[in-house]
Structure 1
Amino acid sequence: MGIVEVLGASRGKSPLIIGDLDVYPQLPRITGAPTLNSEEPDIATASKNAPLNKSTKIADRHVFSLSLPDEEQPHWQALRHAIRNARREGYAYFELGGFVGYSVIYDSTGVSKESIQSAPLIERVQGLIHEEIGDRNSISLTSLPDDKADVYSSKTLPFYLWEVPRRAIRDILRQRLVIVATYNSGWMEKLLSEAGLTVIPDKTGRDHRSFEVVASFEWEGEARVEYHSHVWEEMVIAVHEFRGPKAVVQRALAPLAAPSLARLNDFVPTEALQNDQGHPPEQNG
C-alpha cells in the first residue's frame, strides 16, 4: 500500500496525507488462488475488476486502477535453456539485469543436500554484488517454487503454469529439479533511482532490503502529489515469475501516468479527503 500526499500547488495549503489510496496497474497476470480473509478481502485481486482510471472503494481502501500495456514478460526462453543445460551438466545459471540470478540444479536420482552444496552458488552470488553501490548490496536467497505457506505464494504464477516442458514440471514435483534464486535489492534501489524515482533507505539501517520509493507528479495548477510505497512485494513477484528488474521499475513508475488519465477528483476521492484530513496514517508496505 502507498501513501498519497497531496500538497496545494498554488493555494498554500498544508500537506494532506491520504492513507487509504492504492495504485494498482492492471496486468494480464495469471495468479494462483488468492488466500482471502473473511474480514479483509485481497485488495490486489479485487482491484482487477475495478474500472480503469478512476478511484474505487474496495473494503476500507480506495483503489485507483490503471492499465500497463507494455508489461515486461517472464523470461521463459532463458529458463527453458537453463533447464536443458542443467539436465546435461547437472547445473546451469542465468542472470537478469544484474538484479537476480537463477541456479538450476538437476539430478535424475533426486537433488540432495550434497547436490546443492556442490553447485557453484557462492561464485554466482559474487557476480550480483556491485562495487558501485557499496554497503547497499543486500543479497536474498529463495528456492522456486516457494512453500505453499509462503506469504507471497498466492500472488505469484503457480509453477505448473510456467511455460516450460511438462517433463520439467514433473521433475520439480519429484525433486529432481531445483531452482534457487538470488537477488540484490540494493541494485534495485539504483535502478529505481536511475528511473527518476526518489528512494529513501530504511532510517534504522537494520535491514537494507527495506526502502521507500516516492513517485512525484502533479495536476498543473491544482495539486502536486507524492505517492509513497514499498516495492518489496513487487521484487519478490518479479523474482518468482522470472520477469527481471524492468517489471519492478514499470510498476513503481505507473502512478506517474495518473494526471494524463484522470482528473484529480477521480484520483483522490472526496470521501478519502474528508475521512483522512488531519489524521496521517501509518505507512503500510
Structure 2
Amino acid sequence: MPLDNDPEAQLDPPKPEDQVAHKLMRKIERLAKRLITVDFEGADGLWGFQRDLLALQWEIQKQIRAEKQEVRIRKKDSEALTSLKWARWQSRRLGDSFAWVILGMDRKLLYALSENAPVPVSQEGHGSRGLLAVSEYLAGQGWGFPLIHDITDTLRIGDVTFVRFEGESRSVCTVEVKTRSLGPDSDEEGSALWKYQVAISFMESRDAELNITVKVPSESEQRPGRPDRRISRQSKRMAKAITWQQAEGRKIVDIDGRPTLTASLESSSSSKWKMLRRVIRKSRTDGYASEFIDGAFMIAAFYENYGITAETVRDDRIRKDMEAFAKLNQSNFSNTLEIASIPTDVTRGAQLFRPYYLYPIPQRAIFDLLYGRLAIIVGVNAGGIAGALKDHGHNVQISEETTPPSRAIILSDVVAIEGQPYRVELHDLGVPIQEAIYEFKGVEFVAEFTDSIRDHHDLMMEHITTASQSELEGQ
C-alpha cells in the first residue's frame, strides 16, 4: 500500500532543467488530454492512442538506459534519472487509466488480472512487434478490441485482453502471446519484412499458431530470436484469473486447490469528489487547504506554481490540521496517523484504485498533479477506522506487529453454525482502505465492506463443517 509518513518521499517530479524529461512529460500530457476529453475516432483512434503510448514508454525506457550508463561512467547520482523514472511511472498510470476505461471500470476483472509480480516496461523488438501484429490481425477477425497489457502496470497476467462490445454488455478474452522470428526479407523500397511465428495460449492449451509478416524500417533489423518453448508459462495464472472473473457471488470456488469464498459489494457510499474539488480550488488561492472526512480521513492539498518542494510540505498549517484531525477520533483506539500522497509512488503490488487521470476534477488540476505543481495528501487514522468498525458491531483490534497500522486492523467475529459458535478473523483491509483513500470514499465504505464479509461468514463456515464431515466419513 503506497502510504508514507513523510509526504516529501513521493514528490519528485522533473526539475525545469531536465529538458529531456520535460519533453517526454509534454507527450504524456498530450496523450492524457486525448483520454480525458475522449478525443478518439472509433476503434482506430483507440488503437492509435495505445500504440502512441507504447512507443512513448519505449522512448522513456531508452532514455533511462542511456542515463544509467552515464551514471555508471560519472559514478554519481543523477537528478535527470529520477525525473525520467517519474515520467515512466506517470506513463504507466496513464496506461492503467486507459485499461480502466476500456474494461468499463470493472474492478473484478482488473483485480483478477493483477495477481502477479510487476512487469517491466517492454522493449521494441521481435516480441513486441509480433504482439502488435497478431493483436491487429485477431481484432480484424472479430475477436474484439485488443488491450495491450504492456502499457499498464496493473494488468500483469497475459499479454493482451480482447474486449468485445455487444450492445450494453462486454465480454473479454485474455491470451498469452509468444513470438519467434522466422528471419527477415526485404521489399522493393528497401524496408525489412520480418516474418514471425506467433503462438497464442489460452488457459492450459495452445489455441492457435499463426505466421505474421511485419514491415519495419531496415535500421530496426535485429537477429532472429531463438524459439521460446515456454508457451504456457502463465497458463496457471491465467486460469486463476479467469476463475475469479467468472465466479458468482456467494459461491465457494476452487483457487489453486483452496476453497475460496467470493463476495460482491453494492456500496451506497459515494466519493467526496465535491470536497476534493473544493480543497484543490482553495489550495490554488492559499497554497494549502484541507477538510476532514469523518474522524478517519483528512484531505489536504498543496499548490505551488513553480513546483512542490520539500519546503512547501513543511507548512505549519498541515501540522496543526493533523493535530485537529487526531482529536476527532472519539473511539477507545489510539490515534495512529499515516499519510498517503497523490500522485502515488511506484509499489510492488498493483495499485487497485482509480488513477488520478480519471478523477472528476478540472483538467488543469490533473496536469498540475502530473507536473508536480499540485500534491494531494490524505491523512489516515487507523484508530478512527477501527472505532467506526466497532460501532458496526465488529470485534476489532490493531496488531502492533503489522505496518502500516491501517493494514494491521483485525476483525474477529463470532458466527453460529447449527448452534455451534465459530470465531472468524479477517486480516488486512488494505484493498478497501486503499479504495477509500484514493477515491475519497470515507470510513462508511470500509464499514460496508466488512459488513458484507461478515454476512458471508456463515457460508464459509458451512463449507468448512461440510468438508470436515466428509473427511470423517471418508475415514
SS at match of 2:275: helix
1:129 is paired with a residue whose SS is helix
Deviation track 1:170-225 (CA, whole Å, cap 9, x = no partner) reads 11001111011111101111111111001133266998652311233334x26544
**Residue among 325, 332, 340 paired with 1:142:** 340
What is the aligned partner in structure 2 of residue 170 from structure 1?
Answer: 367
Spell out, residue by residue over 1:26-56, the C-alpha distance to the aligned partner (whole angstroms, 9 max, x if none): x964868725245767989963431111111
Larger radius of gyration, structure 1 or 2?
Answer: 2
The one-letter code of the counterpart of 1:168 is: A
Q: 1:218 aligns with which of 389, 407, 416?
A: 416
Match of 2:381 among 180, 184, 200: 184
Q: Which moved more, 1:209-218 or 1:176-185?
A: 209-218
- In structure 2, relative to structure 1, the CA distance for the partners of 1:206 and 1:111 (3 Å cut) is closer
Residue 453 of structure 2 aligns with an amino acid whose one-letter code is P
Superposed displacement of residue 162, structure 1: 1.4
The code of the aligned residue for 1:90 comes to G
Q: 2:279, 2:403 → 1: CA distance?
A: 35
CA contact under 8 A between 1:55 and 1:268: conserved in structure 2?
no
How many correspondences in the alignment? 245
SS at match of 2:263: strand
Report the identity percentage.
20
CA gap of 1:35–1:111, structure 2 versus 1, over 3 A, is farther
Tell me what 2:394 maps to: 197
Distance 1:274 1:138, change over 3 A: farther
1:183 alignment partner, SS class: strand
1:133 Cα deviation from its structure 2 partner: 4.5
SS of 1:141's equivalent? strand
Aligned to 1:106: 303
Supply the AA of the counterpart residue of 1:255: I
**Secondary structure at the counterpart of residue 127 of structure 1:** helix
Shift of 1:270: 5.4
Unaligned stretches of 5+ residues in structure 1: 1-26, 276-285
SS at match of 2:277: helix
Q: Does 1:36 align with 2:116?
A: yes
Cα 1:207–1:235 change in 2 (3 A) is closer
Q: Give the residue type in structure 2 aligned to 1:51.
A: E
TM superposition score normalised by structure 1: 0.72
Distance in 2 between the 1:246 and 1:44 partners? 29
Q: Secondary structure at the match of 1:120?
A: helix
- The answer (yes or no) to whether the contact 1:105–1:119 under 8 Å persists in 2 is no
Q: Within 5 A, what are the aligned runs for 1:1-285?
A: 29=107, 34=114, 36-37=116-117, 47-118=244-315, 120-130=317-327, 132-133=330-331, 136-147=334-345, 149-151=346-348, 153-202=350-399, 210-219=408-417, 221=418, 223-233=420-430, 234-258=432-456, 265=462, 267-268=463-464
Q: What SS does the corresponding residue of 1:128 show, helix, strand or coil?
A: helix
**Greater relative contact order (CA < 8 Å, ≥ 6 in sequence):** 1
CA shift in 2, pair 1:204/1:84, >3 Å: closer
**Partner amino acid for 1:185?**
A
Distance 1:181 1:273, change over 3 A: farther
Contact kept in structure 2, 1:41 and 1:59, CA below 8 Å:
no
Q: Which has the higher helix share?
A: 2
Task: Please say if residues 252 and 460 of structure 2, whose CA atoms lie closer than 8 Å, have aligned partners that are also in contact.
Answer: no
- Work out whether residues 95 and 102 of structure 1, in 8 Å CA contact, stay in contact via their aligned partners in 2: yes
**CA distance 1:44–1:189, shift in 2 (3 Å):** farther
Distance in 1 between the 2:242 and 2:279 partners?
32
Q: Could you say what the CA RMSD is over the residues aligned between the two structures, in angstroms?
A: 3.5
Question: One-letter code of the match for 1:139?
Answer: L
Q: C-alpha separation between the residues in 2 aligned to 1:157 and 1:125?
A: 25
Three-state SS of the structure 2 residue aligned to 1:186 is helix
Distance 1:42 1:122, change over 3 A: farther
Structure 1 range deviating more: 199-208 or 186-195: 199-208
What SS class does the counterpart of residue 110 from structure 1 fall into? coil
